[in-house]
């Protein structure tokens, strides 16, 4: 769905505690999470404005968000296994 939020807390509610802990304890995680949320907001804004950017630009933004999400997920998963 266009304009849908993909905030980590919405996409991974089962990792709510891990997200909170990692944001306060792991600078790399918090930096990546901040960039992820910036990208998610930018993508949603563009989608709601009928994507006033090229398809290549939108693809690149979504790809970067996806790569960050995968990295963040791995850290959340590892946090809950310790």
Six-digit token pair at 30? 């918090």
pLDDT at 21: 96
pLDDT per residue of the chain (82 residues) written in tens, 0 to 9 = 566 889 999 999 999 999 999 999 999 999 999 999 999 999 999 988 876 889 999 999 999 999 999 999 999 999 998 6
What is the domain count for the chain?
1
Residue 43 forms part of a structural domain: yes
Residue 27 forms part of a structural domain: yes
The alpha-helical segments, DSSP class H, found in the chain are 8-11, 16-25, 27-48, 55-80
Q: What is the extent of the structural domain holding 69?
A: 8-80
Residue 41 forms part of a structural domain: yes
């Amino acid at each position: 769905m266009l304009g849908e939020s993909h905030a980590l807390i919405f996409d991974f509610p089962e990792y709510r505690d891990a997200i909170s802990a990692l944001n306060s304890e792991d600078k790399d995680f918090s930096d990546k999470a901040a960039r992820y949320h910036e990208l998610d907001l930018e993508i949603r804004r563009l989608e709601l404005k009928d994507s006033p950017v090229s398809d290549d630009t939108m693809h690149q933004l979504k790809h970067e968000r996806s790569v960050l999400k995968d990295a963040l997920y791995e850290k959340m998963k590892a946090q809950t296994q310790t």
